[in-house]
Amino acid sequence: MSLNSAITAAASLQRLDGVAGVMLFKGRHTIHRQMPFSDTRAEELREIISQMLDGYRQVRRKIRQIYLEFDGGVLLAVVQDESVMLFFLTSRADADLAASAASVMLNDHAGILNTTSSDAQPLSRHADGIEELVVTSPRALSQITEKAEPTVNQWGAVRKCVEGVLGKVMGRAQASNLIERTIEEAGISDPYRLTVTDVRKLAASVIEHVPNTSKRRQLLVELDVAMEHLKF
C-alpha cells in the first residue's frame, strides 16, 4: 500500500503557524522529513527519540507524547504504537493544536502505518530528486485542522487541571499513570476528539479512582473550580 496519503498529511502539518519542521517515522523508517537542519542531524534526532521510546517500551511504559523545551525551540513527539510524528516548534506555535492535529493524522492513517516496515527505507522522491509531497494543498491542511479545532485546548488543558488536582494526593508519575489507565479502561483512542461533555466526564472519572470518599468529593469540587477558566 502507498504511503502517499500519510506523507501528504504529515507535510501539511508543517503549515501550522509556528511549526519549523516535521518528521514522520516508524522505527528506522523515516517516512517524511522536512526539518530546518541537515538530514544527518535529523536522522540523529530520530535515532535518539527512538532509543528513548524503546527504553520505555522495555519497561512496559506507554508513551503518548514527548515535550522537550529548549532555548531555541520545542521538540514535540506524538506517538501511536510504533509511529511517531515529530515537530520542531517555535515560540509562535500552539503545541496543543499541533498535538491534536498529529493525533488525528496518526489515527486516520493507522491502517497503512501499522503495516509499514520499521526498517530503514529510502525517502520517496520524484525523478528530479525533490522530495515527494513536501508542499501540499491548503485543502489537505484544512481537512486536518477542521477535525482538530473543535477539541483544541480542551483535553490538553483539562489534563493539566486533573494532574494539578491529583497532585494533592499522589505523585506526578502516579497521577499520569492513573489518567492513562482511565483512558484505556474507557476504550478512548484519542481524547482530543471527544466532545466537551465527554472530556468533562473523562476528567471526573479519573478523580473517581481516588479511594477515600471525602478526599474524592473535595477533589471533584476543586476540579470544577480549576476548569472554570477553560474556554469550551
Reported residue count of the chain is: 232
Overall average pLDDT of the 7-25 stretch: 89
Mean per-residue pLDDT of the chain:
81
Are 33 and 41 spatial neighbours (Cβ–Cβ below 8 Å)?
no
Ordered domains of the chain (ranges, CATH):
4-149 (3.30.450.30), 155-227 (no CATH)
Above 60 in pLDDT, residue 180? Answer: yes
Q: What DSSP letter does each residue of the chain carry, written as one string?
A: ---HHHHHHHHHGGGSTTEEEEEEEETTEEEEEE-SS-HHHHHHHHHHHHHHHHHHHHTT----EEEEEETTEEEEEEEETTEEEEEEE-TT--HHHHHHHHHHHHHHTHHHHHHS--S--PPPB-TTSPBTTSS--HHHHHHHHHHHGGGTTTHHHHHHHHHHHHTTTS-HHHHHHHHHHHHHHTT-S-GGGS-HHHHHHHHHHHHTT-S-HHHHHHHHHHHHHHHTTS--
If you search the block for the grid coordinates 541537515, which residue do you land on?
38
**Poorest-pLDDT segment among 19-28, 88-97, 168-177, 188-197:** 188-197
Quick check: pTM over 0.75? no
Higher per-residue confidence, 179 vs 196:
179
- Using one digit for the tens of pLDDT, what is the confidence trace for 46-80? 999 988 888 888 888 888 899 988 877 899 999 99
Cell of 64: 503518548
A 10 A CB-CB count for 152 gives 18
Are 78 and 103 spatial neighbours (Cβ–Cβ below 8 Å)?
yes
Are 191 and 185 spatial neighbours (Cβ–Cβ below 8 Å)?
no
Above 60 in pLDDT, residue 129? Answer: no
Are 207 and 219 spatial neighbours (Cβ–Cβ below 8 Å)?
yes
